[in-house]
Structure 1
Amino acid sequence: MLMLLVNFQTAAGPAILRHAAWHGLTLADIVFPIFLLIVGISTSLALDGRRRPMAWVAVVRRGAMLFAIGVALNWCLRPELDWGQLRWTGVLQRIAIVYLACAAIISIGRGALIPLGLALAVIATHTFVLLATGAGSNVASLAPGTGISGLLDRQFLPGLILRGSWDPEGVLSTLPSMASGFFGIALARWAGAPRHIRRLAFAGAILVLAGLLAATIVPINKNLWTASFVLVTSGIGALAYAVAHAAWPLLQPYNWANQFIAVGQAALTIYVIHMLLIALLRLPPGGEERIRDHLLAGLQEAGLSAMWSSVLFAVLAVTICRLFLVPLQRRGLLLRV
């Protein structure tokens, strides 16, 4: 629900609900890496307990379907027949890749050391490549689109590159995004003991501190998915997971709390609904006065500032998505892959 709230914001929205321009960390930046942490946790919960060999056909099918849905949703945002304008990267595509990587790690063996060691190795390698590898002028750079990360995007990404010279879900940043999922596997395995809440909180604090130390070497940056970004966001995710475990027995009796469970059980469906709503609000394609612009103008004419118009618009859009989800859940018409 927080991801939806962030995605419906405009450029005038509050800074905390907008992604950092480059280096830095806002609430909006935390959402996606925690999704990938959850991918690792949930994949471990789903596959670790199986006594039979992993059903790779089902695993690959699930990953391929997630990737295909992500590409299809990108096409809805730009419904053109020009393949050069189709964006092949995105949120669901990265989730699919991280899911497949997590499944592969789980098949290697049990225990938290393997995914933990791989996660640390991946982010260390990524940091070395970022800081030691030049592009074009043979000078390493962390500026937007100028370093090795942007070069790889321009050379290897087909179709549309979202930012022109680089993509926030680009080639090189996909490698450390897998580390976010690997940390999730390690947390799910290590924190499965009776004192799991304390273990999660301890692991979260250690990861945040490690990320802050790593930030002295490489800055926290979502677009590059730097090591410090992986560590800090994984730590925040672990702490949030511990808080959720501790608070849920107190919150469960309340109906409003169970609404989050209902949305979580239909996360893919409500994500698709919100993307289709975004596509609708962008109509007409290429027009100067889109549906979203008219609605925002109406809120500002009612006396709201540009910032609060953005916030209210996003809240109303998320509410509409939740209302659309209700009849689908009642009829069992949910997307499952």
Structure 2
Amino acid sequence: MTRLAPARDLPLDFLRGVDVMLMLLVNFLVPAAPAILRHAAWHGLTLADIVFPIFLFIVGISASLAFDGRLRRQMPWGAIARRGALLFAIGVALNWCLRPGFDWDQLRWAGVLQRIAIVYLACAVIVSVGRGAIVPLGLGLAIIATHTFVLLNIGAENTVASLAPGAGISGWLDRQLPPGLILRGSWDPEGILSTLPSMASGFLGVALARWASAPRPIWRLAFAGILLVLTGLLTTIVIPINKDLWTASFVLVTSGIGASGYAAVRAAWPVLQPHGWAKQFVAVGQAALTIYVIHMLLIALLRLPPGGEDRLWDSLLAGLRASGLSAMWASVLFAVLAVILCRLLLAPLQRRGLLLRV
């Protein structure tokens, strides 16, 4: 008998669409943008900081929805491995587009899609282990506890442990292990050590998807979200919230926000669903990879000539400033217009079914 594909979870598609649009907005902003739309300089949390971990949290939920109910021998491991490899390869290719050339030392192997690929593969494995919430929850908590111990107790290069940028074990591993370009010089925001707790963000998504599949799922999600946020805030007594290190407090707080947001969307979905603007976010959520690639290619175009002066990006911003806008509002308007352009470019591809599917 042919196995039917699981039905779409439209509230989840909506949440993914909102998250992806915020991701694009943040990536098109410049330092003059409002602080809440920029990543925290180091410790701290802004709206920009919660976008990526919520996406990984959604990856975990999606893995549970897609693969739960299959026996381990029924898992499509070939398709799973292929999808992970292609996501990773697309991420590397997009990094090359930002810095085209044949100097392989300038090729960045880490990145957003690469981390998504790793978390997706890890979530597929954890889903296959069992059907309950205990295993993904327990493993996720064990990972962030171990990660916290390593950050706080293990030094590098004959120095004591440190949470300063590039100074601790996390930065040392980034300088030692991956080939190619390190984005921040001495550390990478999608580096080696921080990839481990990013898996925990996905595992918590798996756990909560399973726990909330029981009766009263919305209330369970909301309760779990509040509990995770409070636990994460309490954890800041031990270790601060930090996106670049992907600390335990960061995982817990952002997963809690993701769970609360998912609960809110599910509760409001009967009211949201009929509206055209809600359907727009659903459409984006169902074509997340395609619109992400579109925005990265647009960024590469706007940065021409690479490394040079008078880039198209700078010229357009200067034009907005010349209209009388402040640097902050020029940055925001530029980013909003760029996101709208990405959505317009996605629309004909979506109508023709020409979406990237891996």
**Structure 2 length normalisation: TM-score?**
0.93
Residue 248 (structure 1) shift = 1.0
Distance 1:250 1:314 in 2: 29
Aligned to 1:76: 97
Residue 232 (1) aligns with residue 222 (2) = no
Matching of residues 1-337 of structure 1 within 5 Å: 1-51=21-71, 53-337=74-358
Aligned CA-pair RMSD: 0.7
The C-alpha deviation readout for 1:37-78, integer Å capped at 9, x for no partner, is 000000110001225521111111010000000000000000
User: What is the DSSP-based 3-state SS (H/G/I as helix, E as strand, rest coil) of the residue aligned with 2:317?
Assistant: helix
* Deviation (angstroms), 1:157: 1.2
The answer for unaligned runs of 5 or more in structure 1 is none
SS of 2:51's equivalent?
helix
Partner-residue secondary structure (3-state), 1:169: coil
**Paired residue type of 1:82:** D
* CA distance in structure 2 between the aligned counterparts of 1:113 and 1:105, rounded to whole angstroms: 11
What is the DSSP-based 3-state SS (H/G/I as helix, E as strand, rest coil) of the residue aligned with 2:74?
coil
Shift of 1:221: 0.1
CA distance in 1, matches of 2:297, 2:115: 19
The alpha-carbon deviation at position 286 of structure 1 amounts to 1.3
- Find the aligned partners of 2:163 and 2:347 in 1 and give their Cα distance: 45
Q: Aligned equivalents of 1:147 and 1:255: distance in 2?
A: 49
Distance of 2:88 and 2:99 partners within structure 1: 17
Shift of residue 165, structure 1, vs aligned partner? 0.4
Cα deviations by residue, 1:267-298 (Å, 9 ceiling, x for unpaired):
00000000000000000111121001000001
Q: Residue 38 of structure 1 aligns to which amino acid in structure 2?
A: I
**C-alpha separation in 2, matches of 1:164 and 1:149:** 13
Query: What TM-score do the two structures reach when normalised by structure 1?
Result: 0.99
CA distance in 2 between partners of 1:156 and 1:175 (Å) = 15
Q: CA deviation at 1:137?
A: 3.1
1:236 partner letter: I
Separation (CA, whole Å) in 1 of partners of 2:355 and 2:76 = 23
Question: C-alpha offsets along residues 85-131 of structure 1, whole Å, 9 cap, x if unaligned?
Answer: 00000000000000111111111111000000000000000000000
Percent identical across equivalent pairs? 79
Paired AA for residue 9 in structure 1? L
Structure 2 unmatched ranges of 5 or more = 1-20
Shift of residue 256 of structure 1? 1.1
Query: CA deviation digits over 1:193-239, x for unaligned, max 9?
Result: 23000000000000001100111100000000000000000000000
Shift of 1:180: 0.2
AA at the equivalent of 2:231:
A
Q: After TM superposition, give the deviation of residue 192 of structure 1 in Å.
A: 0.6
For 1:40 and 1:49, the matched residues in 2 are separated by 15
Rounded Cα–Cα distance in structure 1 between residues aligned with 2:112 and 2:69: 28
Q: Counterparts of 1:336 and 1:287 in 2: how far apart (Å)? A: 34
